[in-house]
Structure 1
Amino acid sequence: MLPLLFLLFLFFFFCSVDVTRSFPADADLSNCTQTFDCGPFRNLTYPFTGGSRPSYCGPPEFHLSCVDDSPELTIASLSYRVLKLDPVRQNLTLARSDLWNSTCTDKLANSTLESVFFSYDEDDDMDVTIFYGCNSTLISPKPKNWFFCDLNLTFDDAYYVIGPVPLDPIMSGFKCSVGITVPILKTTAAVLVANRSLFGEAIMTGFNVNYTNPYEKQCAKCLNVNGLCGFDSDKNRPVCICGNRVCNPAGLAVGGAILFGVFVGFYVYYFIQRKKKKLAAQTQSKELPTPLTSKGVATPSTDLSQFQSIPSYPSFTCKSDYDNKGSTYFGVQVFSYNELEEATENFNPAKELGDGGFGTVYYGKLHDGRVVAVKRLYENNFKRVEQFMNEVEILTRLEHRNLVKLYGCTSRRSRELLLVYEYIPNGTVADHLHGKRVESGCLSWPVRLSIAIETADALAFLHRNDVIHRDVKTNNILIDNDFCVKVADFGLSRLFPNDVTHVSTAPQGTPGYVDPEYYQCYQLTDKSDVYSFGVVLIELLSSLQAVDTNRHRHDINLANLAVNKIQNHLVNELVDPHLGYETNYSVRQMTTAVAELAFRCLQQERDMRPTMDEVLEGLKAVQNEDLGSENGEAVVLDIRSDEVGLLRNMPPPLSPDSNGADKLVSGSTTPSSF
């Protein structure tokens, strides 16, 4: 059996991994784990390459030239300066390098981006057509859109047209050699109409481009087997790098699954055979005469049927036989399936409290009179059992006044996996902000601030105990009748070993709340929870949903909307008007301070975010400033003042809607719940 198992292992290993090392020759493929800095951009990773990140670590279309702090990207043989790069929205702001500091160019080609990789942002961009080699000797005075170019063409005059070119693009008296189109921002075009002399600056302001990596699915498969994404330029195809070799992610996944099945099968087979031999030995010993010194106690036989019913996923260790009444499981009570079925009236749909990604939650009442919430996991498979174990272990190991209490669960032998929690009667924060309880009007600003503090307290407690929640959102923040917080749903949580800096995992979590760095490298840290909590803070400030497809496409994610509002000193447009921002001085100061704190949580780079303990300290400081007043007036700095202005040193926003050179803008007037 063992030789056969070894041969199977070798077979699947060599089928799954390309043992040749032809891509590329003598290169250290592990370099693809590295991020790189390019000009003003930091910690860039796949699909981008450049700097210290080799070109074989991503598609050639995304290779950045990082020279003199001016990143450049080549598209269709033309070079563009990269002015902004947003990996979350997947867009760029580009400006043609050949037209930088000059409106004349010998590269007489259109800026064409019709490819699977790059496309214009039609909501933001419009074309300008530049005509070169024109004869304007008969035109006097010269039009405001005229300029001079010495390009060794027949004539040296040039002019530009904003927007669609007329049917006869040649102005009366003009004879032009060639015309090219270059996009500019619509906001910039409006300024240019008002002041035609700013054409050069308008070109340097650039235009917005959306980018798409057509190899994203292949890359995700590679990351799922802990590989790295690369690109073979010779064969023009993406590759998966495992260690220092090219590998096949599908082969690894299939081979790994089969190997796992072989090992499990071998283990069960070996265990059963061992039990059979033991039973046979016991039976044989019964047939022999019993020695006079023996007590003559018979050994009970072993029922082998129990081994056939054990599924191939991790087993639990219980303090007692969990099929007996009063048994425990990680220290919590083990309920029978029948007991919970009766408590929920056979899982009556009318008893549903809510559902999420992993199960439906039902209202129930136990025999002892306790009112409970029963979570019924959707599937009884390996993944669900892992999440089941995870939630039980975390909730029984940690106790905190703002964490939901786990009463018990079913055993893994149960026909279904069920978790039993304390019942929290007042719904979720999401219900009160923009759900079925929004009409109650109970979430005044002091209540919202208290919810933020208690949630931050619970998350800081988890982080101090090396646990990442991984799914922080308003649907997982329960509130009781006194509006006290109970953070729930630990199915995605992970215990965080002391000797590592992050947890690598396939993409999970809820859109709108997930750390943007997680989408790039699939690495979780406690700062991932901080980002998600930043979204929660913005929800508490604005009463808006984390994701809303009815908003402008750049503002579908609430985090993006909030960052732009805060950077532009428009907190008043972000805060829910019902909170009294305009009429209550204290509310205005506190909400502005909380917005600044949320902005820090929502930084793209995790190292720029505060810790959860720092967030908790900041929120308590905001609350204490309101409570500790002199002569009835809150002692809070006027954050709007010039000296301590909100985020006064922050760079301009990433939103394409607010792009534009400072000179252009300043120089003219532009027209799951329980």
Structure 2
Amino acid sequence: MRVPPHFVLRFLLLFYSLLLLAAANENNSSEIENCPNSFACGDFGDVHFPFSNTMSHECGLPIMNCNDLEAVREVQLGNQKWFQIENIYQQEDRSQINILDHDLQNLLSSKNCSAFFYKLTMPSLSPMMSFNILDTITIFRCIHNSTVPLPQNYSKYTNCSEYDIYFDPLRTDDVIPSSLSACSTIQLPFKTQSPDPISTVSDPYTFLTAQMHIEVELSKTCHDCYYKREGWCRLEGKLCSIDDTAPTQHKRGVLKPIKIGLIMGLGCGGVILIGYLFIILRKQEVFNYSGLGVPVFSYEELEKATNNFDPSSELGRGGFGRVYYGKLEDGREVAIKRLHERKRDYKHIKQFMNEIKLLTCLRHGNLVSLYGCTAPQSRELMLVYEYIPNGTVGDYLHGHLAEPGSLPWSVRLKIAIETAIALTYLHAFDIIHRDVKTNNILLDNNFSAILADFGISRWFPHDASHVSTAPQGTLGYLDPQYQQSHHLTKKSDVYSFGVVLIELISSLTVVDETRDVGEVNLANLAIKIIKRRAFTELVDPSLGFESNENVKRMIISVAELAFKCLQKDKKLRPSMFKVLEVLQIIESRKGRPEHLGTHGVGISCRDIHIPSLTSLDLVGVASLKNLTPKRPHQTI
């Protein structure tokens, strides 16, 4: 009788897991074990340093209950109390954790004046790391009945028995008004987005929050230890756990030789068998090119096209790998994305296949074209795209091509409209891009916008309200509601596009740690400025905002549209189709306010021609599975 491979796989997994566990316990000693490179933590996905699980707390900030799906996950910051984790976001060497402080929450919800004595400080783990609490406001606590002149723009709260509370909801800097110099000061977290104008708030409990956004920054010594020397930065004992005289013994993720011998002796055969069965079961699922009609290139062809992957041909790097310029034998110029060998794992291979499946189904002038890829059995996995020669929008706004006047306002508005068209096209087919940012918007020789990078894009079920998935994307562009709830919707792309609009207006970087606390993220900075209608503080001076009335009106209208896109509540954001409508009206009416409404949204478009789905170059009308390409792939 033939035994199904799934049963064999399960048996081998169980058997060899027990063997490996026994071997690990047998060799256990009082020495500190090597820390795990990463660990699974429920909905947060794989988490890595500077966090650790509670079994290896000396390796980083301990998180508990990762394996308990029903329990609240908590983190201990330094030697302080445990905090509930709302979300963790990590991108390369950047980490941000959103936490909920239950003690502060109880004080705020009961309007207890002890909240204004709350010590909002995080321990310094120098020389290992430091914490930066984002989005805080300075509160002044003054003795009751003292004669304190009310500073301009400040509000006064008098419902506490012994103290009066002074605050300016729109002010997040550390400047202390002279009239409040004798008062005590505290820092408390505040809601960056609220349905009510924060400038009209007189009750501080309405805008204060117990949710904190904390950036974790490694010291230079710790950063170099972990990322350059491949050692472990520890909370206890020697700061950098690495032996330079015997690097193979102590490098991160490498077990000691005696343990390697024991475990490999017991488990090597099992790993080979399990791996073989796993490949058999998974290979057809992951590498299924059938029916896609994607041209396949050989490794040798692409090696020749890039002059043996000459470093001078490198166009850029990303999480996937490196991108090279190449020229095929038929004369086509191409961009070749090369998957890093160390990232040839199931997760990255699925992203590789995801991009192939999407781009072989889609055809649009504002989406990058896929020419083909290497075969599954090729020595390296590569994707071959049309070459877009003019760099990215990010390069021109704040990168190596940034110069005053290099992108005039008319070009920026054109880029915004064409990117909105591309996203509207995707959303019409229930596809969420998930990583909309200026570095993923390419520019051709005519400065037309080409949206690229679909590795983490998702199909969205037509009848679903959201897709539950761990947050992925780029820090600064990521929808905060998606970060907190793990509910991905099309409105998540709308939020990211709102950040792109602010970039086009300001030429500022999305994350800048030199800005004031609470303004590190460009979205937060823009929201504060737009609420005060202080547009000159935001707009790139080279755009002619002060000298050209038409440009000024258009920029203000786009800023107000971006404000709607950046609402924390996704229900308050417009759809991408509505965003496109508004942008086209701004362009056609030259920003005349009588056609735009108070905030550039919620307007009547009956007198404006809005392209139909057909004129947006949609291919097909039903399912992507049955799409007929607008033009066939060129095979070689």
**Is this a same-fold pair by TM over 0.5?**
yes
Instruction: Show CA shifts across 1:386-435 (max 9, x none).
Output: 01100011001010010011100001111111000111110000111111
Instruction: Show CA shifts across 1:374-395 (max 9, x none).
Output: 0001222211110110001100
Partner residue in 2 for 1:356: 318
Amino acid in the other structure paired with 1:486: I
> Which whole-Å CA distance do the structure 1 matches of 2:588 and 2:595 have between them?
16
Please give the residue correspondences for 1:343-422 in structure 2 after superposition, counting only pairs within 5 Å.
343-378=305-340, 379-422=343-386
Does 1:111 pair with 2:73?
no
Kindly state the Cα deviation for residue 498 of structure 1 after the two structures are TM-superposed.
Answer: 2.1
User: Structure 2 residue aligned with 1:125, among 107, 130, 138?
Assistant: 138
> Which whole-Å CA distance do the structure 2 matches of 1:8 and 1:499 have between them?
40
Bigger radius of gyration: 1
Q: When the two structures are superposed, what TM-score results if normalisation uses the length of structure 2?
A: 0.59
Is the CA contact 1:264–1:312 (under 8 Å) kept in the aligned structure 2? no
Partner residue in 2 for 1:667: none
Does 1:145 pair with 2:116?
no
> Which whole-Å CA distance do the structure 2 matches of 1:374 and 1:523 have between them?
33
Partner residue in 2 for 1:436: 400
Does 1:514 pair with 2:554?
no
Percent identity over the alignment?
45
Does 1:597 pair with 2:610?
no
Partner residue in 2 for 1:190: 177
**1:550/1:47 Cα in 2 relative to 1: closer, same or farther (>3 Å)?**
closer
Kindly state the Cα deviation for residue 525 of structure 1 after the two structures are TM-superposed.
Answer: 0.9
User: Structure 1 residue aligned with 2:287, among 316, 332, 335?
Assistant: 316
Is the CA contact 1:184–1:203 (under 8 Å) kept in the aligned structure 2? no
Kindly state the Cα deviation for residue 356 of structure 1 after the two structures are TM-superposed.
Answer: 1.3
Is the CA contact 1:372–1:423 (under 8 Å) kept in the aligned structure 2? yes
Instruction: Show CA shifts across 1:280-312 (max 9, x none).
Output: xxxxxxxxxxxxxxxxxxxxxxxxxxx88x985
2:445 counterpart SS class: coil
Does 1:341 pair with 2:303?
yes
Kindly state the Cα deviation for residue 595 of structure 1 after the two structures are TM-superposed.
Answer: 0.6
- Give the gaps of 5 or more residues in structure 1: 17-28, 33-44, 49-57, 64-71, 83-94, 100-109, 132-143, 147-159, 163-178, 217-260, 271-306, 320-328, 627-633, 650-674
> Which whole-Å CA distance do the structure 1 matches of 2:163 and 2:483 have between them?
35
1:548 counterpart SS class: coil
Kindly state the Cα deviation for residue 332 of structure 1 after the two structures are TM-superposed.
Answer: 2.1
2:518 counterpart SS class: helix
Does 1:549 pair with 2:549?
no
Kindly state the Cα deviation for residue 503 of structure 1 after the two structures are TM-superposed.
Answer: 2.2
**1:635/1:471 Cα in 2 relative to 1: closer, same or farther (>3 Å)?**
closer
**1:61/1:616 Cα in 2 relative to 1: closer, same or farther (>3 Å)?**
closer
Is the CA contact 1:46–1:520 (under 8 Å) kept in the aligned structure 2? no
Is the CA contact 2:553–2:592 (under 8 Å) kept in the aligned structure 1? no
> Which whole-Å CA distance do the structure 1 matches of 2:524 and 2:467 have between them?
26
1:471 counterpart SS class: coil
Amino acid in the other structure paired with 2:364: H
Is the CA contact 1:120–1:208 (under 8 Å) kept in the aligned structure 2? no
Instruction: Show CA shifts across 1:260-291 (max 9, x none).
Output: x9999679659xxxxxxxxxxxxxxxxxxxxx
> Which whole-Å CA distance do the structure 2 matches of 1:399 and 1:73 have between them?
50
Amino acid in the other structure paired with 1:547: V
User: Structure 1 residue aligned with 2:499, among 518, 532, 535?
Assistant: 535
Kindly state the Cα deviation for residue 523 of structure 1 after the two structures are TM-superposed.
Answer: 1.9
User: Structure 2 residue aligned with 1:637, among 559, 573, 594?
Assistant: 594
> Which whole-Å CA distance do the structure 1 matches of 2:519 and 2:213 have between them?
22
Kindly state the Cα deviation for residue 553 of structure 1 after the two structures are TM-superposed.
Answer: 1.9
**Cα RMSD (Å):** 4.7
**1:552/1:421 Cα in 2 relative to 1: closer, same or farther (>3 Å)?**
same
**1:404/1:585 Cα in 2 relative to 1: closer, same or farther (>3 Å)?**
same
User: Structure 2 residue aligned with 1:423, among 372, 381, 387?
Assistant: 387
Kindly state the Cα deviation for residue 209 of structure 1 after the two structures are TM-superposed.
Answer: 7.6
**1:204/1:384 Cα in 2 relative to 1: closer, same or farther (>3 Å)?**
closer
**1:604/1:114 Cα in 2 relative to 1: closer, same or farther (>3 Å)?**
closer
> Which whole-Å CA distance do the structure 2 matches of 1:579 and 1:397 have between them?
38
Kindly state the Cα deviation for residue 551 of structure 1 after the two structures are TM-superposed.
Answer: 1.2
> Which whole-Å CA distance do the structure 2 matches of 1:543 and 1:429 have between them?
10
Is the CA contact 1:313–1:385 (under 8 Å) kept in the aligned structure 2? no
Does 1:563 pair with 2:563?
no
Kindly state the Cα deviation for residue 124 of structure 1 after the two structures are TM-superposed.
Answer: 4.7
**1:263/1:460 Cα in 2 relative to 1: closer, same or farther (>3 Å)?**
farther
Is the CA contact 2:589–2:595 (under 8 Å) kept in the aligned structure 1? no
Amino acid in the other structure paired with 1:111: F
2:594 counterpart SS class: coil
Please give the residue correspondences for 1:234-313 in structure 2 after superposition, counting only pairs within 5 Å.
none
- Give the gaps of 5 or more residues in structure 2: 22-39, 41-68, 73-83, 88-97, 124-130, 151-160, 184-199, 217-268, 603-636
Instruction: Show CA shifts across 1:454-502 (max 9, x none).
Output: 0000011001011111100000000111111111011111122224222
> Which whole-Å CA distance do the structure 2 matches of 1:372 and 1:8 have between them?
45
**1:210/1:416 Cα in 2 relative to 1: closer, same or farther (>3 Å)?**
same
Partner residue in 1 for 2:191: none
Is the CA contact 1:125–1:183 (under 8 Å) kept in the aligned structure 2? no
Amino acid in the other structure paired with 1:62: H
Amino acid in the other structure paired with 1:593: S
> Which whole-Å CA distance do the structure 2 matches of 1:420 and 1:552 have between them?
42
